[in-house]
Structure 1
């Protein structure tokens, strides 16, 4: 080694030592500045309202004090590696950012930021004088209503999932798009983030599946780089929540609130909306029923209309799962060189990531039936059960305002032959994109005209995927009864009335013998609970299961109509 090289290495070593010493000094000074703070916030008399018994909850960067009807969160003077909170001003800015950034999704949970000042040697919450610390004041909620608690107790409902999907999709549609850096959410940043977490996980986790997942992620990053960049330039990188696991979502005041977003790292918050929803989909896969994860994704897609997000969804789901696996290892003390067994929660997340590398081959399913046949309700239940993506003619016709705030009925101009053909062409394009992303698709439309069925059969042949018609049947009296009940009930996406049904019955093209050979028939004159059963859908599920090993090898075709 040359003298210059040795000198350069020595200078770098000296700089590293000095940096470590400076950090240690900052940490000591920061801790001195808040001495006595924890004891102060543990005392009920500190608070300007009845506080009762104080409950203290600590994480790696914050402490929360539950006091009566409120919770007070402070940021600890720490430097955990991904951020430096040793300066009082930095912690104050983070508190203000938490208040500002969380309010759109948190449904009134965030109340204020209060200074904590030292007066005559005594720390006071909200007092005058120079602040030594700041606390985020939040309205307290029942921890049993957290999605994580509900999931653990089997109490997370489809209604909870629908509420979360609507809230998140609605926020994403309005979220800020003026990222502070044009790099955020791009392919290079995504690669760095994913490779960093994989490197950390491989250091701290000996699970044999990790190397294979890492290799798959590398291939996906190469293949999807143009797609990620295109979505960035098209405006899908927005100011997102960034940390949407089940512990940060709660059932509150008859709605769903999402809190504790990323506020300290712009690169982790300014992300593709697909990466944001992927976090919650992933955590539902790991900690709840898979059908709830499927439901969330489908409801988010239907509300947002962003079906193109499916192309990057498996990569982002795997990435989010690896992040949570790493966090689980750290929380369990499973560090490099440790003999501690990999924690069960980390293994669950690693399995979710591994499952993304083995997506089943895609299948095209076409709903067929008259208005009132139950195909919309049934196909939603099937999509939740099997993980297919459902696209709906009623929802797409009324985009961008699907239920529940869609108008009760569209004008007649939306149902002319030309408009009807146009919506089928649109559904064809959506189905093509979904299939190319290796997801199965259920197209919910009447498909009463042979021409429309033919274009979708041609698509399946072009892409090399199986296609089936799902024929939903019920007696005419049942169809009419359902339509009349729907018109009297809450708003519905369908505008069909009994006159529409009469026209359908008079003009529908019968299924050809070739089509009948690819048709699975379902009697929908059954209790709606039957749609939730795997037994009801056995022929469809048997069709889809053998496709488990076929999807990865299929080469994408070009979507043409």
Structure 2
């Protein structure tokens, strides 16, 4: 459970008195809920799990969660009405993402000397009732066992994108998600960590956080006024995501703090991204980010995404430090240090680069580029997807567009829109992979000039296969209603007849790939060896883009070639 970071060290006597009074009879309730006879269903052996503000009892096929009668400064549960309200809010909020998991709120009732969950008598407490699931299905456990994969991550991206689009967007207070609120939250976690473990944070991390908070002030306000501060989950680390059959479910959101729940959707996304990166799975983090962006089109989230990732890493570090407070648990401190190291790594702004796909419809560039983006950590910008998006944060409409959408004027306008998005991503220091045909020189030149303006490496990825294979792929794709591309046989014929060949300068920036290979080849580092060598001169190809140094931190590219092409 995420804890607020501004709780006072010393609380007034009145608060301690309220807590002492509220805890009268608490031990009896706690003891009763650990006995199988207190439940109206077979409970078996009860397992008890305690957090800062709650206790969870795993009883048979169900789990029951009650709020502890505590006053921690940031939350006051010393009044039973407040605890009941928090239980109701927990069910309401979590049903948005885990409706089948959260069954409702039940009373803990006293009849004479007997306490019974959901029984007859006088209510003395309230509990959230949930379906119990196999804890081995938590994403954190799947990751440890090496079972977490791109398919499961994509389920999270799909659900999270839909959730963010549908979440309430009218905060109860204007200060929520505002610049001053974000500054205070970042300062609180930094101060708390320094107080608890002063040597844990490198000085450069604090300085980076302070600089970014000032630099992004206008961005934060634009996002807030633009409606991107929404009622989010707020605590979306890997312990709060579970595999359920072939799907994924997200649970245990923040119910006790508006400030931690009403946040930019980018901050909500940042938590699982950070947790994956902290566990050395940059490839899965890349898959999650690309999946979310493809479904939302919210590329405007990127400028502050690193700030939010660093914040989430520092929060998790502080939680780990609190767990070992007063002890010398080396494992907990090691976990805290790992999160701080993750924050420091993310704060080190990498050098971006630009990759441009090149090839006919049916050349395999879309399937191949999806695999490549995940491997190297680039953000993939799909021409087909963005053409069918009405506006940012809208899902793409996969219905076929009218012929006018593919006129020369419309195509040029579309490439201009892709160029504008690419400019924003490069400005935010993200590596970009643009999936478009780029069959016309004027479109290639505009993107190459953009890369030169940002002084970043640029390569053309030429995907090719036989004419027969092109025709077969286009034919099959035309029958798939879920495809974003409208390309058919007639479109392919026009492309073949009107392509403008690469110039010698462009050819110098080109890496060619034959896509007449099994689909599994795209997942292998050796398939991408010609490109990885140019991105990582002298580096190990088999590990490129998996973990460690981000793949875009390279200085081995031919800047002269870029300048001559422009």
TM-score, normalised via structure 2 length: 0.89
Q: Does structure 2 retain, via aligned residues, the 8 Å contact 1:334–1:340?
A: no
Aligned residue number for residue 249 of structure 2 = 257
Q: Does structure 2 retain, via aligned residues, the 8 Å contact 1:366–1:442?
A: yes
1:410 paired residue among 401, 409, 415 = 401
- 2:272 counterpart of 1:280: yes
3-state DSSP of counterpart to 1:132: strand
Aligned residue number for residue 555 of structure 1 = none
2:357 paired residue among 361, 367, 375 = 367
Alpha-carbon distance, 1:147 to partner:
0.8
- 2:109 counterpart of 1:104: no
Alpha-carbon distance, 1:264 to partner:
0.5
Aligned residue number for residue 538 of structure 1 = 529
- 2:508 counterpart of 1:517: yes
Alpha carbons of structure 1 residues 332 and 490: separation in structure 2 relative to 1, 3 Å: farther
Q: Does structure 2 retain, via aligned residues, the 8 Å contact 1:358–1:549?
A: no
- 2:372 counterpart of 1:386: no
1:499 paired residue among 458, 470, 490 = 490
Q: Does structure 1 retain, via aligned residues, the 8 Å contact 2:138–2:243?
A: yes
Deviations 1:261-297 (A, max 9, x none): 1110101111111100001100111125210001101
- 2:127 counterpart of 1:122: no
Q: Does structure 1 retain, via aligned residues, the 8 Å contact 2:361–2:470?
A: yes
Alpha carbons of structure 1 residues 444 and 18: separation in structure 2 relative to 1, 3 Å: closer
148-157 or 340-349, which moves further after superposition?
340-349
Aligned residue number for residue 439 of structure 1 = 430
- 2:184 counterpart of 1:192: yes
Alpha-carbon distance, 1:17 to partner:
12
3-state DSSP of counterpart to 1:312: helix
- 2:235 counterpart of 1:230: no
Alpha carbons of structure 1 residues 437 and 527: separation in structure 2 relative to 1, 3 Å: same
Q: How many residue pairs were aligned?
A: 533
CA distance in 1 between partners of 2:180 and 2:336 (Å): 27
Alpha-carbon distance, 1:483 to partner:
2.3
CA distance in 2 between partners of 1:404 and 1:185 (Å): 24
Q: Does structure 2 retain, via aligned residues, the 8 Å contact 1:376–1:444?
A: yes
TM-score, normalised via structure 1 length: 0.90
Alpha carbons of structure 1 residues 542 and 18: separation in structure 2 relative to 1, 3 Å: closer
Q: Does structure 2 retain, via aligned residues, the 8 Å contact 1:117–1:132?
A: yes
Aligned residue number for residue 471 of structure 1 = 462
Q: Does structure 1 retain, via aligned residues, the 8 Å contact 2:194–2:200?
A: no
CA distance in 1 between partners of 2:450 and 2:472 (Å): 35
3-state DSSP of counterpart to 1:457: helix
Alpha carbons of structure 1 residues 208 and 288: separation in structure 2 relative to 1, 3 Å: closer
3-state DSSP of counterpart to 2:242: strand
Q: Does structure 2 retain, via aligned residues, the 8 Å contact 1:334–1:341?
A: no
Q: How does 1:309-388 map to 2 (within 5 A)?
A: 309-333=301-325, 343-388=333-378
CA distance in 2 between partners of 1:125 and 1:339 (Å): 36
CA distance in 1 between partners of 2:505 and 2:68 (Å): 69
- 2:453 counterpart of 1:448: no
CA distance in 1 between partners of 2:381 and 2:464 (Å): 20
Alpha carbons of structure 1 residues 498 and 362: separation in structure 2 relative to 1, 3 Å: same
2:448 paired residue among 451, 457, 478 = 457
Task: Give the gaps of 5 or more residues in structure 2.
Answer: 1-7, 538-551, 556-566
Q: Does structure 2 retain, via aligned residues, the 8 Å contact 1:112–1:136?
A: yes
Query: What is the CA RMSD across the aligned residues, in angstroms?
Result: 2.3
2:38 paired residue among 29, 39, 46 = 46
Alpha-carbon distance, 1:116 to partner:
1.3
CA distance in 2 between partners of 1:18 and 1:358 (Å): 37
Aligned residue number for residue 5 of structure 1 = none
Q: Does structure 2 retain, via aligned residues, the 8 Å contact 1:364–1:442?
A: yes
Alpha-carbon distance, 1:130 to partner:
4.0
Deviations 1:453-480 (A, max 9, x none): 1211222222222221111111112222
Aligned residue number for residue 395 of structure 1 = 385
Alpha-carbon distance, 1:22 to partner:
1.9
Aligned residue number for residue 3 of structure 2 = none
Deviations 1:310-357 (A, max 9, x none): 00001100000000011111113367xx79686221122112101112
Alpha-carbon distance, 1:385 to partner:
1.3
Q: Does structure 1 retain, via aligned residues, the 8 Å contact 2:270–2:308?
A: yes
3-state DSSP of counterpart to 1:535: helix
Q: How does 1:172-183 map to 2 (within 5 A)?
A: 172-183=164-175
Q: Does structure 1 retain, via aligned residues, the 8 Å contact 2:296–2:395?
A: no
Alpha-carbon distance, 1:98 to partner:
0.2
CA distance in 2 between partners of 1:257 and 1:341 (Å): 28
CA distance in 2 between partners of 1:382 and 1:539 (Å): 13
Alpha carbons of structure 1 residues 159 and 342: separation in structure 2 relative to 1, 3 Å: closer
3-state DSSP of counterpart to 1:439: coil
CA distance in 2 between partners of 1:245 and 1:523 (Å): 39
Alpha-carbon distance, 1:30 to partner:
1.5
Aligned residue number for residue 4 of structure 1 = none
- 2:532 counterpart of 1:527: no
CA distance in 1 between partners of 2:155 and 2:420 (Å): 28
Alpha-carbon distance, 1:39 to partner:
2.1
3-state DSSP of counterpart to 1:485: helix
Alpha-carbon distance, 1:43 to partner:
2.1
CA distance in 1 between partners of 2:500 and 2:410 (Å): 19
Aligned residue number for residue 67 of structure 1 = 59
- 2:114 counterpart of 1:113: no
CA distance in 1 between partners of 2:229 and 2:10 (Å): 38
